Structure 1
């Protein structure tokens, strides 16, 4: 039996010409401007973004998050959004302001009917005048902030938090979060007693069904451990060892899967008996690994991915606590707070 694939007639290439004066282009820019204008500042509205066919729903008023959730088809709009995303990647802030400034310049230049070359020269001249004014001592827009003044720092943090309506921080909750941010910032400053300072030493852990008033700043690393009962109040009972005259807890960090899945072993060739299963052989070898670390005095096993239940039970019996499913981000935090042997 012979089958043939369906063939379609070759279509000729077409060239479409779009101008800035095109009504669809102007309407798209106006709509994007309205979206960003209504989500600006502390009184801005939260936007709900979802594909017309359904799927993931995004709630945000942040320009960077909105640009990631929305799709654009017009070439002019794509160019503007790409430029703003480049601004956000470089400066990490000011995306909403930069987008509105760009959209206003484009829309008003189209409506003015002036020569494009003349408009470009005027914009460059105004930009130079603005920069000179901002850098001069007569600028009343900018103000000096003293990092050593806690009141100034508190005002800066509150202005940032109140500009995010989805945070819903007001009154005492706003005061608490502002104080915690300042406290955490001060704790992250380098000191003579710390030899290594990490640029990303802050981790925020969110708990469901917990009020804002329960927020706190802790030195070290707080990790969710679902296997530990919530009403557990006494010590876990970790094995401590002596090293260089100090007692501590030895831990081991595994960045590969310990689930026994052979698909994680890409370039490994195994020779097993016909009556044996490859998964069982892998679990047996991993159990040997757990036995070795238990004999070496390891108190905690951190795994970036999944640990097989049989291996978890074996480690419990040997007095080794297991924390798995950490993820790449949290594994890096664990590496920050541990010292290599």
Structure 2
């Protein structure tokens, strides 16, 4: 009765909140979100455990895509920030934390200014354009070329992604081993024939829990779960390859609603289920007549059809899932058949060079060796526990994606906060040079422009500072604009003795370098591109970081320009 009354009760009017950032409670929630994200930023970040207050599964992660999806955000403004970051950054690897943290910082810095939000947004967009133009220049001081004739830069890119996730719980040698395996897998996905249009192959990750990280390896071809009815003797009985393979993407469970294309003719006196089964057995007869050795299906295969095929020595692999279809098509050259109601054309069949059985711990896998394209491989990823393995799988996939992006744009950015610090110094200097032009273009005062510009470069500095979580101090040198770390409480006169290399590892302390704490006032200077002949030890993806920078600014501007939030409370 109560439920019925609640359904017929009068609808409540929507709640309208004007100028949401002026609300102290809303601003506090945004600040808390920024602190949560900042605290798990970088290789020394703190892990986050997320679970329901009534119990259930506990998620441990430091990956932005996982973290932002798992957080239950109550306020529309926070939901907007998370959605903007996830929708845009997920396509460009895991730069989501950088984008979200910088967005929060830009909003935080702007809120404390006595400048109209529209002017701040205009200044932010203008400075973003200057950053993008600078990063795309060949003489940019925080960009380095990626040499595909050497594995050094590619390995640094892969290692930078993998070591940035502390939830992976890797020791140094383990991180190095995983990085090498991911790089090896990536190189195997590059086709040997590069004439004309080039399509990269696929790295399939097979996680194996309970095995040492050092057991991680790369295998050519594909590994699929061993079918329950299959035995090692069945595989050995097939002998040497090549072996003919048929591939189906339609359900073969006997469900008419999922039978694919075609028409099924049924006698009015016949049982529909029996008619479908008869059609499936005709398909089995054709497989036997055409000399098929492996019968693979994305979905379920009817037990009777499975038994018939097994009786004739055909190996059945079902429930492959949609993720394995593309790499299996590349490995075998097969065409995925979408019906079982018409004869299958011979040209639809593919081949595997051979089959084998591999055991990883307690898990048996069927190994399909490629007969055609050699550009698909399997990364057998091992770790000691489920939490670390799940995080490592995501990190390896992100690292592979980073390497693919680098093929299109063979550049990398200085890592470990040096790019953000360098850009901050560049923007501070540039904003003083073209202030007259900017004021004329934006229609604002000199003071308002400089205040908004300072907020922009302070936000970049605060993002670089967010990499430290143990009370250490962050410095910027006043020559190259790199980020340096010193023990907390170190006095200025001993900075030169305390600093090691800069964050990215490119620079080492020299007698003519001066430092100041990051995010403090210093005279603007034009950061000089270093000419050391050395190479950075830590690199970030150029296209991923540039995209994240753009997403951060546009998301911050969207939040700053919000005038009203209207919520339906019914």
Aligned to 1:305: 299
| 1:143 CA drift (Å) | 3.3
* Corresponding residue for residue 8 of structure 1: 8
Aligned to 1:285: 279
Is the contact made by 2:227 and 2:318 (CA closer than 8 Å) also made in structure 1?
Answer: no
Structural mapping, 1:20-31, within 5 Å: 20-31=21-32
CA displacement 1:81-129 (0-9 Å, x = unmatched): 2322233145334221111111011122223343324433443454345
Greater CA deviation, 72-81 or 247-256?
Answer: 72-81
- Larger strand share, 1 or 2: 2
| Structure 2 match to 1:176 | 177
Partner in structure 1 of residue 49 of structure 2 = 48
1:219 aligns with 2:213: no
Aligned counterpart, 1:324: 318
Q: Which moved more, 1:167-176 or 1:188-197?
A: 188-197
Q: Distance in 2 between matches of 1:207 and 1:233?
A: 24
Q: Which residue of the partner structure matches residue 259 of structure 1?
A: 253
CA distance in 2, matches of 1:234, 1:195: 42
- CA–CA distance in structure 1, aligned partners of residues 237 and 276 of structure 2: 30
CA–CA separation in structure 1 for the residues paired with 2:248 and 2:154 = 40
| Local SS of the residue matching 2:295 | strand
Query: Aligned residue for 1:37?
Result: 38
- Over 3 Å counting, the alpha-carbon distance change for 1:132 and 1:251 in structure 2 is closer
Q: Secondary structure at the match of 1:282?
A: helix
Tell me the CA shift for residue 45 of structure 1.
2.3
> 2:167 matched to 1:161?
no
Greater CA drift, 11-20 or 128-137: 128-137
Q: Do the aligned residues in 2 keep the contact of 1:198 with 1:336 (CA within 8 Å)?
A: no
Q: CA RMSD in A?
A: 3.1
Is structure 2 residue 316 aligned with structure 1 residue 315?
no
TM-score w.r.t. length of structure 2: 0.52
Q: Aligned pair count?
A: 328
Cα 1:281–1:195 change in 2 (3 A) is farther
SS in 1 for 2:205: coil
Aligned to 2:63: 62
CA contact (8 A) 1:63 1:95 kept: yes
Residue equivalent to 2:437: none
Which region of structure 1 is more displaced relative to structure 2, 199-208 or 321-330?
A: 199-208
Shift of 1:193: 8.6
Q: Distance in 2 between matches of 1:141 and 1:233?
A: 58
Match of 1:236?
Answer: 236
Partner of 2:400: none
Once structures 1 and 2 are overlaid, which stretch shifts more, 121-130 or 141-150? Answer: 121-130
Matches within 5 A, 1:137-216: 139-192=140-193, 198-216=199-217
What secondary structure, in the 3-state scheme, does the structure 2 residue paired with 1:222 have? strand
- The structural deviation recorded for 1:315 is 0.8
Q: Contact conserved, 2:251 with 2:259, CA < 8 A, in 1?
A: no
CA distance in 2, matches of 1:104, 1:208: 39
The range that moved more, 220-229 or 308-317, is: 220-229
Task: Provide Cα deviations, 1:291-335, integer angstroms capped at 9, x if missing partner.
Answer: 111111000000111112222121111111100010111122211
Q: Deviations over 1:141-168 (max 9, x none)?
A: 3333323222232222212111112222
Per the alignment, in what secondary structure is the counterpart of residue 211 of structure 2?
Answer: coil
Measure the CA separation in 2 of the matches of 1:315 and 1:170.
48
Alignment match, 1:81: 82
Q: Are the counterparts in 2 of residues 153 and 182 from structure 1 also a CA contact under 8 Å?
A: yes
- Summarize the Cα distance change of 1:193–1:338 in structure 2 as closer, same or farther, 3 Å threshold: farther
Helix, strand or coil at the partner of 2:148: coil
Query: Equivalent residue for 2:432?
Result: none
Counterpart position of 2:470: none
* Alpha-carbon separation, structure 2, partners of 1:101 and 1:213: 36
Instruction: Output the CA distance in 1 between the equivalents of 2:229 and 2:209.
Output: 17
Partners of 2:125 and 2:257 in 1: how far apart? Answer: 58
- Which secondary structure state, in structure 2, belongs to the residue aligned with residue 204 of structure 1? strand
Show CA shifts across 1:217-236 (max 9, x none).
12222222143778x48952
Distance 2:118 2:280 in 1: 70
